[in-house]
Structure 1
Amino acid sequence: MMLPVFEEYEPTADCGCEGCAHQRRALRHGDHPSAHGARRALVLVTAAGVALGGSGAAEAAARTFRPAALSADQPAGQAAAPRAAGRLPATNRTDIISRAQRWVGSQVPYSMDKYWSDGYRQDCSGFVSMAWNLDGSEWTGSLAEYGSRIAADDLQPGDILLFHNPANPTKGSHVTIFGGWADDTHTSYVAYEETPPHARRQVTPYAYWSNSSRYVAYRYKGLIGGSPGGGPGTSTRFPGTKYFGPGTRNAYVTQLGKMLVKRGASRYYQQGPGPSWGNADRLATQAFQRAQGWKGSAADGLPGPSTWGLLVGGGGKSIPKAGQGGSGGSPATAAFPGKGSFRPGQSSASVEKLGRQLVKKGFGTYYTSGPGPRWTEADRRNVEAFQRAQGWRGGAADGYPGPETWRRLFA
């Protein structure tokens, strides 16, 4: 493979590629300021061509001649001046991930020579250019100019992982958008990327499936405040399992609840979300986990790195509406049989059903036997414990189930 060399560029008269045609137009328009400089444009030339966003050389000539995109009102033949760092389009992390998600949701097909309806090229670097809101479609060899290099441990959603192979850009060059860590060991993350056959979002080994050690992390220079999943001041990294579960109280619980509400969990919260962990948080988390198709310990209602990463990065499936079902969704709640079924001396199948569900949810502490069809003090105390776990107090936690207690218990 021939190594890249820099050489003077003089367009040939019979070449029809965009670069030569554009250069010939510039030479004909001698009154344009760039006409003289265009005769001696310094460009990167390789035997295989230059890759646009990952592989192939379909637009190598165009990109080698014109690393910066022309604006719509710029005269033909006048090269666009490099954008000053201070004049980069401002954006925030939330908008970066939202734009990336739009392409993922639309399953934009991968192409190195086609442009999507928003005007960006449909390859990996065009995808990042779109998400970062750049003026045009850059390539893997120029994206680093728009970012500041950061350490892997500093990665946050909206940053990128870039591998550009200058010796042979067609060999493996690629770029992904970081969407959040998928585990607490930082060995995998949620990646947004444009790759054949179409834009996707999936958990990916760090830094990538191939050439992993050669990827470099960058943060967009035009970034302003704002974080996906909760706004400024929230955590994009998974804080650890110790911050969640019975007895915990901290800002991460509030952040988790707010992210879950945005993903369809509002029906689990009678009030809040708030900093004190309650059964509403557990049920909402479990509903989100089941929406991903997870089962068993993977859907225990306690957030782990994968759950947190999907919520922060806006990934995964949202919680189906009540009664809608869906992948991993919960069935519609059984009808509440009425308060009269749960009073001293009452005996019915509803009492036993209630007791078994309490045990299933982890609120069967006061049963020494059963549960059975006859209402007992053990039933009442277990229901009271469940109600208190919702954050209810006073008459709202008297141990006698009402419609809301029943709905939450069977949700």
Structure 2
Amino acid sequence: MSIQRVLTRAQAVAAAAALIGGIIAATPAVAADSAPSAPSAAELARIDKGGAGQGKSAAAAARLTAAGPQISRSQAIQRASSWVGKGLEYNWYRTYQGYRTDCSGYVSMAWNLGTPGLTTPDFVPSGVASWINKSQLKPGDALLNDAAGASGHIVLFGGWTDSSQTAYSGYEFTGSGVHHRTIPYPYFPGYGTFKPVRNNSIVDDATNPGPGPDNVGVFRPSTGEFHLRYDDGSLAKVSWGEAGDLPVSGNFDGAGPDNIGVFRPSTGEFHLRMDDGSLTKVSWGEAGDLPVSANWDGSGPDNVGIFRPSTGEFHLRMDDGSLTKISWGQAGDLPVSANFDGAGPDNIGIFRPSTGEFHLRMDDGSLTKLGWGENGDLPVSANWDARR
């Protein structure tokens, strides 16, 4: 890449920050750098994707260790999510929480590597990461263009959007900020060659059988009461809802036992009960939607979502409040959600009353069909025997 092109990218980043209300102070003089000037509209659109330059690497220290500290896949996703929505500005001369605010500094942070982070040419040669195949990709891996400077870029892989494996949920830091969005595999065209890569110290999440088996319960719309069965067979009644509400349950506050909630189609709101009995309202849906709840992103508390029968789409809410849409079903289907493959985040599925089949989505986007039921049945899903 020529010096002139690097300068243009630096200029574009500085101007993009100014547009969102920030004024970047002048940085100390560095060889081949010049004062920024306003970019064109075309340049601003270009920096929404790909790299926009990278600062000094921590490659020398990384070569001494040849690996970062052990980290689980859900921890990597959770760390990446922690920068989403903070309004951080792309500037490879600056740091946040010790890490450079550029693409490779961001993924270094997600993988809990040494500060200020590696640059794209260093991940594999340093021994921190290794190339893998597309079929091996799991949440917490990455797509890497290992070119230097502004020509390189890296994206944290969050999982396939569907079984076609033509697009994925990705976390990236571009010239316009930190994004969690759907990205075509391997990356948007025109930004170089991207290949799958894995942190050598990442590990699959340990299975956790939990404190005991799940229990059953009913929601009685006529009284707005939940009747819940405990491990010892005793009954608990909880008033939480009104006529017309639809029940939902999950660990909404990320601690203690699971909680109850209702989805109110008349208002498109979830009314969720916390461990302390307090109420949290979340607007997420509309009349005709069917509620679901699970830990979609594999970290933190459970999230809410809806299945829209008119379009055969799930609209899932992430920890950071962002929306993920997944086409998985058709009119007449009924939604279910659980960790169907026993690893990583929870998954979605549907029960098709017309065929008596469950269509369940796995972590890699593949489909599993299970014949279990008949027309008129209603679906449920949980860990009945408390084993993984």
Q: Is TM > 0.5 for Structure 1 vs Structure 2?
A: no
TM-score of Structure 1 vs Structure 2, range by shorter chain: 0.3 to 0.5
**TM-score of the two chains, using structure 1 as the length reference:** 0.43
**TM-score of the two chains, using structure 2 as the length reference:** 0.45
**Structure with the largest fraction of helix:** 1
